[in-house]
A and B are shown apart, each in its own frame.
Chain A
Amino acid sequence: MRSYKRLTLLCGHYGSGKTNIAVNMAMDLRKQKERVAVADLDIVNPYFRTKDSDADFAHAGIRLICSSFANSNLDLPAMPQDLYAITDDRDLSVILDIGGDDRGALALGRIAPAVLAENDYEMLMVVNGRRPLTPDAPSTLEVLREIEAACGIPFTGIVNNTNLGIETTEETVLSSIPYAEETAALAGLPLVMTTVEESLYEPLAGKIENLFPLKLQNRF
């Protein structure tokens, strides 16, 4: 069973898979904790948001902290009105889904001092080596450093979510491990997990350390 800090922050290049991981981590965390929330702090992405899973969250008893404008026709990069519940309600365990790149990470600036002061957090960099702007460790590290500079919170680990969408195979994931390890080594951080779509979990279990299965949100 994965152990969680009170706050788990998911950052990364946009399109790296943060939202799907946030949804699944919240479901996993809910098995361990009574009071769990997902915070959608994405101020960049107009479509495909954590809010798409709001019915699942309600069913699982997970609180969704989210701008009331998400998934509406209003293109407002607004923060949720209950933002401070994340840092002030210390009995609440929160998975934070942050917008992509340094621009998305800017949203963290406001709560960063409280996150650092409490010091009960994991700051995870989600990486996908099959994204065109992060094909290797040096380019991924560049994005990582830009995000840290924008939000003021240092990363604590790497999450390898290398995939090719519906064309992902065992080989796609297996061949991404050297990339993920090199990125982690360059950043001086641990590779904390590799995430895979749930049908690939069984075939890859035992071949990859710290494998984490993902049930994907519905798409087209």
Chain B
Amino acid sequence: MADKVLMKGNEAIAEAAIIAGCRHYFGYPITPQTEVAAYMAKKMPKIGGTFLQAESEIAAINMVYGVASAGCRVMTSSSSPGISLKGEGLSYLAGSDLPALVVNVQRGGPGLGGIQPSQSDYFQATRGGGHGDYHMIVLAPASVQEMAELTVKGFELADKYRMTSMILADGTMGQMMEPVALDLAVAPAPAKPWATTGTGMKRAHNIVNSLSLDPEELERLNLARYERYAEVEANETMYEEYRMEDAEICVAAFGIAARVSKNAINEARKEGIKVGLIRPITLWPFPKAPFKKAAGQVKQFLSVELSMGQMIEDVRLATECRVPVTLVNRVGGMIPSPDQVLEAIRKASKNGGND
């Protein structure tokens, strides 16, 4: 194994993207993700890549559209308000079936909000963000190592399914420093016969476009796209189960909230409370199966989030509301403390099922 290095989450995303073969980065600075752009600005010129600070987030996402059309691995990154600006571009990427990687290091909202961490863009990420029927593959890292690994995975899945992959991190994940092993395995990019790489006078022109003049044709495209989405749901769901074997209470949490929850779960276990964690790693597709299974085992779910309760809707859908689900949250840039989660676990242990 190669020597580990000490990295910020944002740096790990940038370095992993380079390892994955991304040589084109377009972005616009915004706290707390600026280190992604800063790292790319330093590194890309040294390896023959492109770093371009666009005039806006909207320009950056459309540059991503251009490079993706040419069949190259490409990315952009931003934080919450900047992702909203990219919304139109995300929809156009989906409508043109282009693979790309988009990183959202979330901050508190809505509006300009603040610069401290948040998970309140869950709806935006998992329900599209732009207009029209579409999905993105949404990956939620919970360590700096995962920031790196899921970046590589994001590029691979994007190419495989011709979709946008989004890394949905938060400010803390972006700023915190941890040791990382960068000996990442990267699958070679698949052939892209649809890309606009020049006909060489040997084939018909490839056209990348999201405009359909014929509504019947547009319907067919939408239906075909959703068949691909069904494949992603069937094959690419990722999650982690922690101490769930005998659990009577199940905590649902991703990213930084999952780290806080694990600390609380370990404390609760010392008190004899049977509590475990399901940590979705893909937020879309959401890992419905383990939640459905857990609904037959536990008496209470707790959804720990840095939002007013967004993932909780997916937990309720996956468990078909068979067991109560309670929200444990902080918002506006605040992070739930292990003590807050522990107190909620204790309460659920006493009143579980009757909440």
State whether B4 touches A130 (Cβ < 8 A).
yes
A164 beta carbon closer than 8 Å to chain B: yes
A73 beta carbon closer than 8 Å to chain B: yes
B176 beta carbon closer than 8 Å to chain A: yes
Partner-contacting stretch, out of A80-88, A131-139, A151-159:
A131-139
Provide the residues of chain B in CB contact with A15, threshold 8 Å: 6-8, 11, 177
Query: B9-33 interface mask toward A, CB cutoff 8 Å, 1 = contact, 0 = none?
Result: 0010001000000000000000110
**Could you tell me how many residues of chain B have their Cβ less than 8 Å away from some Cβ of chain A?**
31
Query: Known contacts being A73-B333, A131-B6, A220-B259, is A46 close to B178, with CB within 8 Å?
Result: no
A160 beta carbon closer than 8 Å to chain B: no
Partner-contacting stretch, out of B107-115, B313-321, B347-355:
B107-115
State whether B115 touches A132 (Cβ < 8 A).
no
B171 beta carbon closer than 8 Å to chain A: yes
State whether B7 touches A132 (Cβ < 8 A).
yes
Provide the residues of chain B in CB contact with A75, threshold 8 Å: 31, 115
Provide the residues of chain B in CB contact with A47, threshold 8 Å: 32, 116, 171-172, 175
Q: By CB atoms of chain B within 10 A, which of A130, A163, A220 has the most?
A: A220
Query: Known contacts being A73-B114, A73-B115, A132-B11, is A46 close to B32, with CB within 8 Å?
Result: yes
State whether B115 touches A165 (Cβ < 8 A).
no
B308 beta carbon closer than 8 Å to chain A: no
B87 beta carbon closer than 8 Å to chain A: no
Query: B276-313 interface mask toward A, CB cutoff 8 Å, 1 = contact, 0 = none?
Result: 00000000000000000000000000000000000000
State whether A73 touches B113 (Cβ < 8 A).
yes
State whether A165 touches B5 (Cβ < 8 A).
no
State whether A46 touches B179 (Cβ < 8 A).
no
Query: A142-181 interface mask toward B, CB cutoff 8 Å, 1 = contact, 0 = none?
Result: 0000000000000000000001111100000000000000
**Nearest Cβ distance between residue B182 and chain A, in whole angstroms?**
8
Query: Known contacts being A15-B177, A47-B172, A47-B175, is A163 close to B6, with CB within 8 Å?
Result: yes
**Nearest Cβ distance between residue A186 and chain B, in whole angstroms?**
20
Query: A107-150 interface mask toward B, CB cutoff 8 Å, 1 = contact, 0 = none?
Result: 00000000000000000000010111101000000000000000
Interface of A: prevailing SS = loop
A219 beta carbon closer than 8 Å to chain B: yes
**Nearest Cβ distance between residue B107 and chain A, in whole angstroms?**
9
State whether A166 touches B11 (Cβ < 8 A).
no
**Nearest Cβ distance between residue B36 and chain A, in whole angstroms?**
13
**Nearest Cβ distance between residue A138 and chain B, in whole angstroms?**
13
Query: B161-185 interface mask toward A, CB cutoff 8 Å, 1 = contact, 0 = none?
Result: 0000000000110011111001000
State whether B177 touches A165 (Cβ < 8 A).
yes
Cα separation A135 to B175 with both chains bound (whole Å): 20
State whether A165 touches B171 (Cβ < 8 A).
no
Q: Residue B6 contacts which of A45, A46, A74, A128 (CB distance < 8 angstroms)?
A: A128
Provide the residues of chain B in CB contact with A133, threshold 8 Å: 39, 42
Q: Which residue on chain A has the smallest CB distance to residue B144?
A: A165
State whether A220 touches B176 (Cβ < 8 A).
yes
State whether B31 touches A130 (Cβ < 8 A).
no
Q: By CB atoms of chain A within 10 A, which of B8, B15, B35, B177 has the most?
A: B177
Q: Residue A220 contacts which of B4, B8, B15, B172 (CB distance < 8 angstroms)?
A: B172
State whether A132 touches B5 (Cβ < 8 A).
yes
Q: Which residue on chain B has the smallest CB distance to residue A133?
A: B42
State whether A73 touches B42 (Cβ < 8 A).
no
**Nearest Cβ distance between residue A133 and chain B, in whole angstroms?**
6
Q: Which residue on chain A has the smallest CB distance to residue B263?
A: A220
**Nearest Cβ distance between residue B17 and chain A, in whole angstroms?**
13
Query: Known contacts being A15-B6, A167-B4, A220-B259, is A132 close to B177, with CB within 8 Å?
Result: no
State whether A48 touches B175 (Cβ < 8 A).
yes
Q: Residue A166 contacts which of B7, B42, B172, B179 (CB distance < 8 angstroms)?
A: B179
Interface residues of B in 244-261 (CB under 8 A from A): 256, 259-260
Provide the residues of chain A in CB contact with B39, threshold 8 Å: 133
Cα separation A28 to B57 with both chains bound (whole Å): 46
* 14 A-B pairs in the complex with CB atoms less than 8 angstroms apart: A15-B8, A15-B11, A15-B177, A45-B175, A46-B171, A47-B171, A48-B175, A73-B113, A74-B115, A75-B115, A133-B42, A135-B5, A163-B6, A220-B172
List 13 extra interface pairs beyond A46-B175, A220-B256, CB under 8 A. Answer: A15-B11, A46-B115, A46-B171, A47-B32, A47-B172, A48-B175, A75-B31, A75-B115, A131-B5, A131-B7, A164-B6, A165-B179, A166-B179
